[in-house]
Protein backbone atom coordinates (compact mmCIF):
# COMPACT_ATOMS: atom_id res chain seq x y z
CA UNK A 1 0.00 0.00 0.00
CA UNK A 2 1.14 3.50 -0.85
CA UNK A 3 -0.09 6.95 0.06
CA UNK A 4 0.00 9.91 -2.29
CA UNK A 5 0.03 13.32 -0.62
CA UNK A 6 -1.08 15.84 -3.20
CA UNK A 7 -1.07 19.64 -3.07
CA UNK A 8 -3.28 21.46 -5.55
CA UNK A 9 -2.80 25.21 -5.94
CA UNK A 10 -4.04 27.89 -8.31
CA UNK A 11 -1.55 28.80 -11.03
CA UNK A 12 0.48 31.93 -10.33
CA UNK A 13 -1.22 33.66 -13.27
CA UNK A 14 -4.70 33.17 -11.76
CA UNK A 15 -6.00 35.61 -9.15
CA UNK A 16 -6.90 33.75 -5.96
CA UNK A 17 -9.99 35.46 -4.45
CA UNK A 18 -9.83 33.39 -1.23
CA UNK A 19 -6.14 34.12 -0.75
CA UNK A 20 -6.77 37.84 -1.29
CA UNK A 21 -9.59 37.86 1.30
CA UNK A 22 -7.42 36.04 3.85
CA UNK A 23 -4.51 38.38 3.20
CA UNK A 24 -6.80 41.35 3.84
CA UNK A 25 -7.98 39.76 7.11
CA UNK A 26 -4.36 39.25 8.21
CA UNK A 27 -3.61 42.88 7.36
CA UNK A 28 -6.68 43.97 9.35
CA UNK A 29 -5.25 42.02 12.32
CA UNK A 30 -2.16 44.18 12.08
CA UNK A 31 0.02 41.55 10.39
CA UNK A 32 1.67 43.99 8.03
CA UNK A 33 4.46 41.59 7.12
CA UNK A 34 2.11 39.49 4.93
CA UNK A 35 2.77 40.11 1.25
CA UNK A 36 0.69 37.36 -0.40
CA UNK A 37 -1.58 34.42 0.48
CA UNK A 38 -2.43 31.56 -1.86
CA UNK A 39 -4.98 28.92 -0.83
CA UNK A 40 -4.99 25.41 -2.22
CA UNK A 41 -6.23 21.89 -1.54
CA UNK A 42 -4.51 18.97 0.12
CA UNK A 43 -5.60 15.49 -0.99
CA UNK A 44 -4.45 12.10 0.35
CA UNK A 45 -4.97 8.99 -1.76
CA UNK A 46 -4.18 5.51 -0.48
CA UNK A 47 -3.61 3.03 -3.28
CA UNK A 48 -2.23 -0.34 -4.25
CA UNK A 49 0.81 -0.32 -6.50
CA UNK A 50 3.67 -2.62 -7.49
CA UNK A 51 6.37 -0.08 -6.87
CA UNK A 52 7.07 3.52 -5.97
CA UNK A 53 7.20 4.50 -9.64
CA UNK A 54 3.95 2.66 -10.39
CA UNK A 55 2.28 4.53 -7.50
CA UNK A 56 3.64 7.85 -8.78
CA UNK A 57 2.42 7.13 -12.26
CA UNK A 58 -1.06 6.34 -10.96
CA UNK A 59 -1.19 9.47 -8.78
CA UNK A 60 -0.12 11.55 -11.74
CA UNK A 61 -2.95 10.04 -13.78
CA UNK A 62 -5.54 10.68 -11.02
CA UNK A 63 -4.40 14.30 -10.87
CA UNK A 64 -4.61 14.88 -14.60
CA UNK A 65 -7.93 13.10 -15.11
CA UNK A 66 -9.88 14.27 -12.08
CA UNK A 67 -8.19 15.85 -9.10
CA UNK A 68 -6.71 18.89 -10.85
CA UNK A 69 -8.23 21.29 -13.37
CA UNK A 70 -5.16 22.21 -15.34
CA UNK A 71 -6.79 25.31 -16.81
CA UNK A 72 -6.32 27.13 -13.49
CA UNK A 73 -4.58 24.72 -11.13
CA UNK A 74 -1.19 23.14 -10.74
CA UNK A 75 -0.10 20.32 -8.45
CA UNK A 76 2.74 18.58 -6.72
CA UNK A 77 2.78 15.27 -4.89
CA UNK A 78 4.80 13.07 -2.64
CA UNK A 79 4.31 9.28 -2.55
CA UNK A 80 5.21 7.15 0.49
CA UNK A 81 5.07 3.44 1.09
CA UNK A 82 2.75 2.46 3.95
CA UNK A 83 3.72 -0.39 6.24
CA UNK A 84 0.68 -2.65 6.70
CA UNK B 1 -38.14 19.06 -31.37
CA UNK B 2 -37.13 16.33 -28.96
CA UNK B 3 -35.11 17.34 -25.95
CA UNK B 4 -33.54 15.52 -23.03
CA UNK B 5 -32.82 17.08 -19.66
CA UNK B 6 -30.11 15.24 -17.72
CA UNK B 7 -30.89 15.00 -14.00
CA UNK B 8 -27.89 14.68 -11.70
CA UNK B 9 -28.08 14.19 -7.94
CA UNK B 10 -28.22 17.83 -6.84
CA UNK B 11 -29.71 19.26 -10.05
CA UNK B 12 -32.40 21.77 -9.07
CA UNK B 13 -33.31 23.63 -12.27
CA UNK B 14 -34.20 20.53 -14.30
CA UNK B 15 -37.97 20.96 -13.92
CA UNK B 16 -37.79 24.66 -14.72
CA UNK B 17 -36.06 24.13 -18.05
CA UNK B 18 -38.32 21.18 -18.94
CA UNK B 19 -41.36 23.39 -18.24
CA UNK B 20 -39.97 26.13 -20.49
CA UNK B 21 -39.18 23.76 -23.37
CA UNK B 22 -42.61 22.13 -23.20
CA UNK B 23 -44.78 25.17 -22.51
CA UNK B 24 -43.15 27.83 -24.64
CA UNK B 25 -41.43 25.82 -27.39
CA UNK B 26 -43.62 22.68 -27.60
CA UNK B 27 -40.73 20.24 -27.29
CA UNK B 28 -41.15 16.65 -26.34
CA UNK B 29 -39.03 16.48 -23.22
CA UNK B 30 -37.56 13.41 -21.52
CA UNK B 31 -35.96 13.61 -18.10
CA UNK B 32 -32.86 11.38 -18.13
CA UNK B 33 -31.47 10.21 -14.77
CA UNK B 34 -27.67 10.44 -14.64
CA UNK B 35 -27.25 6.68 -14.14
CA UNK B 36 -28.89 5.90 -17.47
CA UNK B 37 -27.98 6.66 -21.07
CA UNK B 38 -29.82 8.65 -23.72
CA UNK B 39 -32.10 5.99 -25.16
CA UNK B 40 -32.77 7.70 -28.48
CA UNK B 41 -31.60 10.56 -30.66
CA UNK B 42 -32.44 14.00 -29.36
CA UNK B 43 -32.19 17.38 -31.05
CA UNK B 44 -31.16 19.07 -27.83
CA UNK B 45 -29.64 17.87 -24.57
CA UNK B 46 -29.81 20.23 -21.59
CA UNK B 47 -27.48 20.08 -18.60
CA UNK B 48 -29.49 22.00 -15.98
CA UNK B 49 -28.46 24.20 -13.10
CA UNK B 50 -27.98 22.99 -9.55
CA UNK B 51 -25.22 21.54 -7.43
CA UNK B 52 -24.44 18.18 -9.03
CA UNK B 53 -22.68 15.85 -6.59
CA UNK B 54 -22.69 18.63 -4.00
CA UNK B 55 -20.10 20.58 -6.03
CA UNK B 56 -17.50 18.34 -4.38
CA UNK B 57 -13.88 18.69 -5.53
CA UNK B 58 -14.83 21.34 -8.14
CA UNK B 59 -18.20 22.32 -9.60
CA UNK B 60 -19.09 19.88 -12.36
CA UNK B 61 -15.94 17.78 -11.92
CA UNK B 62 -17.68 14.61 -10.79
CA UNK B 63 -20.84 14.89 -12.92
CA UNK B 64 -18.59 14.60 -15.93
CA UNK B 65 -17.97 10.94 -15.06
CA UNK B 66 -21.62 9.95 -14.68
CA UNK B 67 -22.94 7.31 -17.13
CA UNK B 68 -25.32 9.73 -18.84
CA UNK B 69 -22.42 11.98 -19.82
CA UNK B 70 -21.01 9.21 -21.97
CA UNK B 71 -24.04 9.34 -24.21
CA UNK B 72 -24.03 13.14 -24.06
CA UNK B 73 -20.50 13.04 -25.50
CA UNK B 74 -21.75 10.72 -28.26
CA UNK B 75 -24.65 13.11 -28.88
CA UNK B 76 -22.08 15.91 -29.24
CA UNK B 77 -19.98 13.85 -31.66
CA UNK B 78 -23.07 13.28 -33.81
CA UNK B 79 -23.44 17.04 -33.99
CA UNK B 80 -26.38 17.25 -31.56
CA UNK B 81 -27.00 20.50 -29.72
CA UNK B 82 -26.22 20.92 -26.02
CA UNK B 83 -27.22 23.73 -23.68
CA UNK B 84 -25.59 23.97 -20.26
CA UNK B 85 -27.03 26.47 -17.80
CA UNK B 86 -25.11 27.43 -14.65
CA UNK B 87 -23.94 24.10 -13.18
CA UNK B 88 -24.51 22.70 -16.69
CA UNK B 89 -22.01 25.24 -18.05
CA UNK B 90 -19.54 24.16 -15.34
CA UNK B 91 -20.01 20.52 -16.39
CA UNK B 92 -19.40 21.44 -20.04
CA UNK B 93 -16.07 23.08 -19.22
CA UNK B 94 -15.02 20.23 -16.91
CA UNK B 95 -15.87 17.75 -19.69
CA UNK B 96 -13.74 19.65 -22.17
CA UNK B 97 -16.75 20.33 -24.43
CA UNK B 98 -16.21 24.05 -23.88
CA UNK B 99 -12.85 25.71 -23.10
CA UNK B 100 -11.85 27.50 -19.90
CA UNK B 101 -13.29 27.02 -16.45
CA UNK B 102 -15.54 28.65 -13.84
CA UNK B 103 -14.22 29.31 -10.38
CA UNK B 104 -14.96 31.31 -7.26
CA UNK B 105 -16.61 34.71 -7.66
CA UNK B 106 -14.10 37.44 -6.82
CA UNK B 107 -16.24 38.57 -3.85
CA UNK B 108 -16.39 34.93 -2.59
CA UNK B 109 -20.18 35.15 -2.26
CA UNK B 110 -23.04 33.26 -3.83
CA UNK B 111 -24.80 35.96 -5.83
CA UNK B 112 -28.52 35.61 -6.55
CA UNK B 113 -30.00 38.61 -8.35
CA UNK B 114 -31.04 40.03 -11.69
CA UNK B 115 -28.16 41.19 -13.86
CA UNK B 116 -27.99 42.75 -17.30
CA UNK B 117 -26.61 41.03 -20.37
CA UNK B 118 -25.79 42.09 -23.90
CA UNK B 119 -24.84 39.84 -26.78
CA UNK B 120 -21.16 38.90 -26.87
CA UNK B 121 -19.71 38.33 -30.33
CA UNK B 122 -21.66 40.32 -32.91
CA UNK B 123 -21.78 37.39 -35.33
CA UNK B 124 -22.72 34.55 -33.01
CA UNK B 125 -25.79 32.90 -34.61
CA UNK B 126 -27.38 32.20 -31.21
CA UNK B 127 -28.00 35.93 -30.71
CA UNK B 128 -28.69 36.89 -34.32
CA UNK B 129 -31.98 38.73 -33.67
CA UNK B 130 -30.60 40.92 -30.87
CA UNK B 131 -29.44 44.49 -31.41
CA UNK B 132 -25.79 45.14 -30.44
CA UNK B 133 -26.67 47.08 -27.26
CA UNK B 134 -29.99 45.38 -26.52
CA UNK B 135 -30.07 44.65 -22.79
CA UNK B 136 -31.55 41.47 -21.33
CA UNK B 137 -32.38 41.30 -17.64
CA UNK B 138 -31.86 37.73 -16.44
CA UNK B 139 -31.14 36.33 -12.96
CA UNK B 140 -27.87 34.73 -11.91
CA UNK B 141 -27.48 32.43 -8.92
CA UNK B 142 -23.98 31.11 -8.40
CA UNK B 143 -20.91 31.15 -6.21
CA UNK B 144 -18.54 29.90 -8.89
CA UNK B 145 -19.32 31.80 -12.07
CA UNK B 146 -16.00 33.55 -12.56
CA UNK B 147 -15.10 32.52 -16.10
CA UNK B 148 -11.40 32.10 -16.74
CA UNK B 149 -9.48 31.03 -19.82
CA UNK B 150 -5.90 31.79 -20.80
CA UNK B 151 -5.39 34.84 -23.07
CA UNK B 152 -4.87 32.70 -26.20
CA UNK B 153 -8.18 30.90 -25.64
CA UNK B 154 -10.03 34.17 -25.05
CA UNK B 155 -8.51 35.58 -28.25
CA UNK B 156 -9.68 32.50 -30.12
CA UNK B 157 -13.20 32.78 -28.64
CA UNK B 158 -13.38 36.36 -29.88
CA UNK B 159 -12.00 35.61 -33.32
CA UNK B 160 -14.38 32.71 -33.82
CA UNK B 161 -17.46 34.72 -32.65
CA UNK B 162 -17.94 32.34 -29.75
CA UNK B 163 -18.78 34.77 -26.95
CA UNK B 164 -22.49 34.26 -26.40
CA UNK B 165 -23.31 36.93 -23.79
CA UNK B 166 -21.42 39.49 -21.74
CA UNK B 167 -22.39 41.08 -18.43
CA UNK B 168 -23.40 44.67 -19.05
CA UNK B 169 -22.30 47.58 -16.84
CA UNK B 170 -21.67 45.41 -13.80
CA UNK B 171 -19.46 42.30 -13.89
CA UNK B 172 -20.83 40.38 -10.88
CA UNK B 173 -18.23 37.64 -10.54
CA UNK B 174 -14.92 38.73 -12.05
CA UNK B 175 -15.25 36.84 -15.35
CA UNK B 176 -12.56 37.64 -17.89
CA UNK B 177 -13.89 40.05 -20.59
CA UNK B 178 -17.27 40.12 -18.74
CA UNK B 179 -18.04 36.73 -20.30
CA UNK B 180 -21.39 35.24 -19.18
CA UNK B 181 -21.60 32.48 -21.80
CA UNK B 182 -19.73 30.93 -24.72
CA UNK B 183 -20.30 28.44 -27.52
CA UNK B 184 -18.32 25.77 -29.34
CA UNK B 185 -16.78 26.72 -32.68
CA UNK B 186 -19.73 25.19 -34.56
CA UNK B 187 -22.16 26.94 -32.13
CA UNK B 188 -23.89 23.65 -31.33
CA UNK B 189 -22.70 23.55 -27.72
CA UNK B 190 -23.59 26.55 -25.58
CA UNK B 191 -23.02 27.28 -21.90
CA UNK B 192 -23.97 30.27 -19.78
CA UNK B 193 -24.10 31.13 -16.07
CA UNK B 194 -27.33 33.22 -16.05
CA UNK B 195 -30.71 31.46 -15.81
CA UNK B 196 -32.95 32.45 -18.75
CA UNK B 197 -35.40 29.70 -17.71
CA UNK B 198 -36.13 31.76 -14.59
CA UNK B 199 -37.21 34.81 -16.62
CA UNK B 200 -40.20 33.60 -18.61
CA UNK B 201 -43.25 34.91 -16.77
CA UNK B 202 -44.67 38.36 -16.07
CA UNK B 203 -43.82 38.13 -12.37
CA UNK B 204 -40.18 37.20 -13.05
CA UNK B 205 -39.51 39.30 -16.12
CA UNK B 206 -39.70 37.78 -19.59
CA UNK B 207 -36.28 38.44 -21.11
CA UNK B 208 -35.54 34.72 -20.93
CA UNK B 209 -37.79 34.45 -23.99
CA UNK B 210 -35.36 36.62 -25.93
CA UNK B 211 -32.62 34.18 -25.02
CA UNK B 212 -34.56 31.08 -26.11
CA UNK B 213 -36.13 32.69 -29.21
CA UNK B 214 -32.63 33.54 -30.42
CA UNK B 215 -31.24 30.17 -29.33
CA UNK B 216 -33.86 28.29 -31.38
CA UNK B 217 -33.48 30.62 -34.35
CA UNK B 218 -30.19 28.77 -35.07
ipTM of the complex in this document: 0.80
pLDDT score, position A84? 74
Residue A39: give the domain boundaries: 2-81
pLDDT score, position B22? 98
What are the residues facing B183 on neighbouring strands?
Answer: B190
CA–CA distances in Å: residue B91 to residues A46, B49, B117, B211: 27, 10, 22, 20
- Contact B208/B117 with Cβ under 8 angstroms? no
Query: Please, what is the average pLDDT of chain A?
Result: 95
Report chain B's C-alpha Rg in angstroms: 16
Residue A37: CB partners within 8 Å, gap ≥ 6? A16, A19, A20, A22, A23, A26
- Interface probe, candidates B59, B110, B148, chain A, greatest A C-beta count within 10 A: B148
What total of structural domains would you count in chain B?
1
pLDDT tens-digit series, residues A1-32: 999 999 999 999 898 988 999 999 999 999 99
Q: What is the CATH number of the domain that holds A62?
A: 3.30.1280.10
Backbone angle region of B161, left / alpha / beta, with phi > 0 → left and psi within -120 to 50 → alpha: left
- Contact B3/B45 with Cβ under 8 angstroms? yes
Tell me if chain A has a CB within 8 Å of the CB of B56: no
Give the residue numbers of B marked as catalytic: 86, 195, 197
What residue in B sits closest to A66 (Cα-Cα)? B61
Q: What sign results for the dihedral spanned by CA atoms B164, B169, B174, B176? A: positive
**Measured between CB atoms, which of B104, B107, B149 is closest to A71?**
B149
Smallest Cα–Cα separation from B165: which of B143, B186, B188, B196?
B196
Chain B CB contacts of A17 below 8 Å? 104-108, 146, 174
Buried b (16+ CB within 10 A) or exposed e, B14-34: bebbbebbeeebebebbebeb
Residue B140: give the domain boundaries: 2-217
Put simply, the answer to whether A15 touches B174 (Cβ < 8 Å) is yes
Chain A CB contacts of B108 below 8 Å? 17-18, 21
Rounded-to-integer distance, Cα B93 and Cα B109, Å: 21
Chain A CB contacts of B57 below 8 Å? 66-67
Q: What is the CATH number of the domain that holds B191?
A: 3.40.50.880
Tell me if chain A has a CB within 8 Å of the CB of B58: yes
Work out whether strand B163-167 and strand B189-192 pair parallel, antiparallel, or are unpaired.
Answer: unpaired
CA–CA distances in Å: residue B181 to residues A2, A23, A66, B145: 42, 31, 24, 10
- Interface probe, candidates A9, A38, A69, chain B, greatest B C-beta count within 10 A: A69
Residue B142: CB partners within 8 Å, gap ≥ 6? B86, B102, B105, B110, B111, B173, B193
Rounded-to-integer distance, Cα B217 and Cα B126, Å: 7
Put simply, the answer to whether A17 touches B108 (Cβ < 8 Å) is yes
| Ramachandran angles phi, psi of B128, nearest 5° | -65, -25
Q: What is the pLDDT along chain B (218 residues), one digit of tens a residue?
A: 999 999 999 999 999 999 999 999 999 999 999 999 998 899 999 999 999 988 999 999 999 889 999 999 999 999 999 999 999 999 999 999 999 999 999 999 999 999 999 999 999 999 999 999 999 999 999 999 999 999 999 999 999 999 999 999 999 999 999 999 999 999 999 999 999 999 999 999 999 999 999 999 99
Residues of chain A with pLDDT > 90, as a percent, come to 90
- Interface probe, candidates A63, A71, A74, chain B, greatest B C-beta count within 10 A: A71
What total of structural domains would you count in chain A?
1
**Measured between CB atoms, which of A14, A21, A66 is closest to B148?**
A14
Put simply, the answer to whether B108 touches A21 (Cβ < 8 Å) is yes
| Ramachandran angles phi, psi of B161, nearest 5° | 60, 35
Amino acid sequence: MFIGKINVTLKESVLDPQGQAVMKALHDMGEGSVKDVRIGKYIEVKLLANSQSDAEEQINRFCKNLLVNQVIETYSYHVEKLEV
Amino acid sequence: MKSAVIVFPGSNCDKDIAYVLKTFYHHKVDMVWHKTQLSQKYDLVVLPGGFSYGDYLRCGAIARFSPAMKSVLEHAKRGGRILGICNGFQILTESGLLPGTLFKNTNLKHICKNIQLVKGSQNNPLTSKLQPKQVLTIPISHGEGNYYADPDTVKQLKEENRILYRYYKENPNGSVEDIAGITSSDFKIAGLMPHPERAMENWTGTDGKLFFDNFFEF
